[in-house]
Amino acid sequence: MRHLVFALLIWLGVAHAVQAQESGLVTLQTRQDSQGWEAVGRLDIRGKGFCTASLIRDRLILTAAHCLYDEGGGLVSPDRFQFLAGLRDGQAQAVRSVVRAIAHPDYNHSGDATNAADVAMDIAVLELDQPIRNSRIRPYLIAARPITGDQVGVVSYGRGREEAASLQEVCNVLGRQTGVVVMTCDVEYGSSGSPVFMIRDGETRIASVVSAMAQVNGQKVSLGTSLEEPLNALLAHFASLGPARPGGTQRLITSSERNDTGAKFVRP
């Protein structure tokens, strides 16, 4: 697995990128710590585990598309999802069920590992049963795609830190190509769908969504989407579907052919 990921990093041209100073993971233990991050939540999936998701509209959350699939490759029923916004030590700022879940129309689910083309489209939106309208839980805006050398941050839940979100305030973008962003952000199983943030015009905006993780020569790296254009396409598709149908989850047909690089990654 390591040599396959290393080959991809060479393809991206970032294997020897110079890294700026990073910060470590900090658990958001108090209300003060969590201020501004309440719209990130744990996305529980009954019978499967959990991912991380974030509020982008008062009734829409954003996560990774592969979170919508079970181990056998089938779609998870919407009634198995529950979004716990700002979850900290058993208490959430808001709890919502899900009425439907829509993956990007160009996402191709390939089980436990995927290729670069799939990482680039590994996003999904889930419609909540009720809007979240709370002055402390504000939907996030979307940033332009990050470029090599940008500093970003990530808020995530993960294995061993399920009860409170963790913030890595500074990690680095090593490179970007064909819609894949390679970062040094520290993620773990359960961090799939975690929002990657940048500060733009004084606002905290989501610039990517965590899709996969790997190690390169002992260095942990994470991969995500170049979010802006894929999310616009996904939201346009979502809007075209009309009201939620019974069953909620919809399988989407691939609209274009893909380049399969053969590189494989581990899903966080």
pLDDT one-digit tens code per residue, 255-264: 233 333 233 3
- Look at residue 49 in the predicted model and tell me its pLDDT: 93
Distance between CA 118 and CA 123 in Å, rounded?
10
Q: What is the pLDDT of residues 124-164, one digit of tens each?
A: 999 999 999 999 999 999 998 898 999 999 999 998 899 99
Sketch out the chain's domains with CATH numbers.
2-240 (2.40.10.10)
pLDDT at 242 over 90: no
Q: Residue 81 corresponds to which tokens in the numbers above?
A: 């999802």
Q: CA 253, CA 109: separation in Å to the nearest integer? A: 11
Cα distance from N-terminal residue to C-terminal residue, the chain: 15
Q: For residue range 206-235, list pLDDT tens digits in order.
A: 999 999 887 766 778 899 998 989 999 999
Residues 6+ apart with CB under 8 A from 151: 20, 170, 171, 172, 173, 198
**Which tens digits make up the pLDDT trace of 81-109?**
999 999 998 899 999 999 999 999 999 88
Residue 193 to residue 226: CA distance in whole angstroms = 13
pTM: 0.85
pLDDT at position 122 is 94
